[in-house]
Amino acid sequence: MRYGIIGTGNMGSMLINAFISSGAVDANDVTIYNRTRKKAEWIQNQFKEITVANSVKDVVRESEVVFICVKPHDYKDILSQCSPNASQCLVSITSPVAVKDLENITSCQVVRTVPSITNRSYSGVSLFTYGDRVSDFYKDELHSIFSHISKPVVIEEESIRSASDIVSCGPAFISFLLENMISAAQEVGGMSKEKATQLTEEMMIGLGTLLEKRIYTLPELMEKVTVKGGVTGEGIGALEDHIGDLFLEMFKATHRKHKEDKRTIQL
Ligand SMILES: NC(=O)C1=CN([C@@H]2O[C@H](COP(=O)(O)OP(=O)(O)OC[C@H]3O[C@@H](n4cnc5c(N)ncnc54)[C@H](OP(=O)(O)O)[C@@H]3O)[C@@H](O)[C@H]2O)C=CC1
Ligand SMILES: O=C(O)[C@@H]1CCC=N1
């Protein structure tokens, strides 16, 4: 299978790196293109067999599966330069562009796969929404390569915002909260930032491993750590008193932005 990647920023480069280094895809089968050519050439320095194309059109001509890895407002620019045919599969990786809308303006097969930065370590989830025209052949192929780097999960259009918030925005949200925890450990506990960061990172790795091994669920973890009359209970109490609508407001904000993007994105 020949793969094309248009846009080699954070996500495009992450996918190229993860697919090739995990053995899911052979670098000889990959053609890439980026507006700023240097970025694509930098990736080619790591994977010599990759082809750097001169245009969007060239990537599409060379590929059976074409990933669009640009920001949603740049889709129009890309789609105006290429028209993949009915035997090709277009893969969009952004949530505000609906699969149906892409199907309406193209004749190719369409899939949306929202990845996550966690896929770089061959972990976490990739969210799949299939268009009506996509063949079992492409479904199987995409499921297979994404299984090397993630747990593919099918998600219906109505749930895409909340699902992306958890799977793809989640690493940024949780990192933000942990950075706050580190600052507070410095301020209240007098700990150095370096030490608090080291402890936090190791705690997160341990927590992830407990979950990965299915040793405890999240509610079980809370129960096991919260010793009756102990300090965790005091800490949880303080969190309950102050958390307020924190996560409700976060989801409301992302849903607002999603709606606004959908209203203003032109294809
Ligand atoms: N970041 C994340 O964790 C996730 C992102 N996504 C989705 O991935 C997409 C890309 O995000 P991200 O990688 O973070 O963004 P980046 O800004 O890092 O990358 C976008 C890339 O697209 C290139 N580009 C823009 N316009 C064109 C064009 N006309 N032709 C060729 N290349 C072009 C840019 O080139 P140039 O170098 O010239 O600027 C840039 O390298 C978004 O749609 C986002 O929603 C999905 C899941 C997670
Ligand atoms: O389209 C999305 O939902 C993803 C999440 C992070 C950036 N873009």
The tens digit of pLDDT for each residue in 254-263 reads 999 999 999 9
CA of 164 to the centre of ligand 2 (A): 6
In angstroms, the CA 86 to CA 67 distance is 15
Strand, helix or coil at 212? helix
Question: Which pLDDT score is estimated for 228?
Answer: 84
For the chain, 267 residues long, give each residue's pLDDT as a single digit of tens. 999 999 999 999 999 999 999 999 999 999 999 999 999 999 999 999 999 999 999 999 999 999 999 999 999 999 999 889 999 999 999 999 999 999 999 999 999 999 999 999 999 999 999 999 999 999 999 999 999 999 999 999 999 999 999 999 999 999 999 999 999 999 999 999 999 999 999 999 999 999 999 999 999 999 999 988 899 999 999 999 999 999 999 999 999 999 999 999 999
Q: Is the CB of 169 under 6 A from ligand 2?
A: yes
Report the residue among 35, 78, 91 best suited for mutation to probe ligand 1: largest number of ligand atoms under 8 A from its CB: 35
Q: Is the CB of 221 under 6 A from ligand 2?
A: no
Question: Which pLDDT score is estimated for 3?
Answer: 98
In angstroms, the CA 127 to CA 122 distance is 14
Containing 72, the helix (H) or strand (E) segment is none
Q: Give the residue among 24, 32, 40 at the shortest CA–CA distance from 4.
A: 32
Q: Is the CB of 51 under 6 A from ligand 2?
A: no
Interface confidence, given as ipTM, is 0.98
CA of 168 to the centre of ligand 2 (A): 6
Tokens encoding 250? 């976060």
Sequence-distant (6+) residues with CB within 8 A of 263 are none
Q: Which residues line ligand 1 (CB under 6 A)?
A: 6-12, 33-36, 39, 56, 69-72, 74, 77-78, 93-94, 114-117, 168
Q: Which residues on neighbouring strands pair with residue 6, listed in sequence order?
A: 33, 68
pLDDT per residue as tens digits for the range 28-37: 999 999 999 9
Sequence-distant (6+) residues with CB within 8 A of 117 are 10, 14, 124, 168, 171
Strand, helix or coil at 69? coil
Domain boundary assignment for the chain: 3-155, 163-256
Architecture of domain 163-256 in this structure: Orthogonal Bundle (1.10)
CA of 67 to the centre of ligand 1 (A): 11
Containing 5, the helix (H) or strand (E) segment is strand 3-6
Q: Is the CB of 95 under 6 A from ligand 2?
A: yes
Strand, helix or coil at 266? coil
Report the residue among 6, 8, 11, 146 best suited for mutation to probe ligand 1: largest number of ligand atoms under 8 A from its CB: 11
The CA-based angle 255-250-112, given to 5 degrees, is 45
Report the residue among 33, 52, 71, 160 best suited for mutation to probe ligand 1: largest number of ligand atoms under 8 A from its CB: 71
In angstroms, the CA 99 to CA 111 distance is 7
In angstroms, the CA 165 to CA 206 distance is 23
Which ligand is nearest the CA of 160, by number?
Answer: 2
Q: Specify whether the CB–CB gap between 115 and 14 falls below 8 A.
A: yes
Given the CA of residue 95, which atom of ligand 1 is nearest to it? 45
Strand, helix or coil at 191? coil
Q: What is the DSSP letter of 243?
A: H
CA of 120 to the centre of ligand 2 (A): 15
- State the fold for domain 3-155: Rossmann fold (3.40.50)
Q: Is the CB of 113 under 6 A from ligand 2?
A: no
